[in-house]
Structures are given as C-alpha cells and as structure tokens.
C-alpha cells in the first residue's frame, strides 16, 4: 500500500496526506530515519526540491511532519478549500455518491458539525431537481 504522490498543484489536503504517510510508515515498520529518507519517493518534483533543502535539518519524523505542515498546510490552501466548500455543486459530479463524499470531506475539514448549517450548504450545492426533493 503506497500513498499517492504529493503535489501541491493537485490540491490534495497536506494534513491528510502526511497522516496517511505516517500510517504507511507504521504499516511497513520503517525506522524513523527510513521514513525521513523514503518520503522523497512520494513527493512531486517541486516538493522534492523543498525536501532536499530541509532534509539535513530533520532529525525526527515529528520534525518532518511539522516542517511539511508549515510549508504546505498554509492559509492559502485553507482559503482554496473554503472556497471549494462555498462553490461545490452536485452538477460537477457524475455520481451523487462522489458529490456527497467530497462535501462531507470539506465539511469535516472545517469542523462544520451543526446539522442546520450542513443542510443549508447541501441545499445550496444541490441541482434544482434534487433540491426540490429535499425541500
């Protein structure tokens, strides 16, 4: 089991990605030094350049995780994700299930727990046919 290659241009959640990477480390029983070295195999070109610039300063997996989050889990990424939550539309997904999975993921990222708020966001995102069924 391998994680996807992390590339910022793909818009992948950096916190979720590094958490999956840490699970992979645990699953494969890699040592800390192996985990620090092997991460470069799962980084895109631009991200690998960043890694090369900091790898000599990294002693622990926790330090790597902190530097990774500092670099990639930025306010800009948060803004782009928030914007995606505000503009998500059912019509952009072939399968309703894919739409629901994405919507739930975005709601979770921002800690939206109140059912009334979730319902408002859902209604706004539905196509007119589905919206009429809900209302």
Higher pLDDT, 7 or 10: 7
| Main-chain phi, psi angles of 17, to 5 degrees | -65, -50
Mean pLDDT across the stretch 74-78?
Answer: 80
In the three-class reduction of DSSP (H, G, I as helix; E, B as strand; rest coil), residue 43 is classed as strand
Residue 8 CB partners (closer than 8 Å, separation 6+): 14, 44, 46, 47, 72, 77
State the pLDDT at residue 1.
58
pLDDT of residue 60: 96
Tell me the percentage of the chain whose pLDDT exceeds 70: 99
20 band by pLDDT with thresholds 50, 70 and 90 = very high
Q: Which pLDDT score, from 0 to 100, does residue 94 have?
A: 94
CB-CB neighbours of 131 under 10 Å:
14
Mean predicted confidence (pLDDT) in 77-102: 90
Return the residue matching tokens 């998500």: 88
Question: pLDDT tens across 53-65, in order?
Answer: 999 999 999 999 9
Query: What is the average per-residue pLDDT within 33-46?
Result: 96
- pTM of the entire structure? 0.69
Which of 38-42, 72-76, 119-123 has maximum average pLDDT? 38-42
């Amino acid at each position: 089991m391998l994680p996807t290659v992390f590339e910022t241009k793909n818009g992948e959640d950096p916190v979720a990605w590094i958490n999956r990477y840490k699970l992979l480390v645990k699953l494969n029983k890699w040592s800390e030094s192996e985990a620090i070295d092997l991460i470069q195999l799962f980084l895109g070109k631009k991200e690998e350049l960043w890694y090369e610039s900091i790898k000599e300063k990294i002693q622990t997996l926790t330090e790597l995780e902190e530097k990774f989050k500092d670099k990639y889990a930025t306010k800009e990424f948060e803004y782009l994700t928030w914007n995606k939550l505000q503009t998500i539309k059912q019509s952009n997904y072939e399968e309703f299930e894919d739409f629901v999975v994405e919507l739930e993921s975005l709601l979770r990222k921002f800690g939206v727990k109140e059912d009334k708020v979730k319902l408002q966001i859902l209604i706004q995102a539905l196509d007119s046919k589905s919206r009429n069924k809900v209302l």
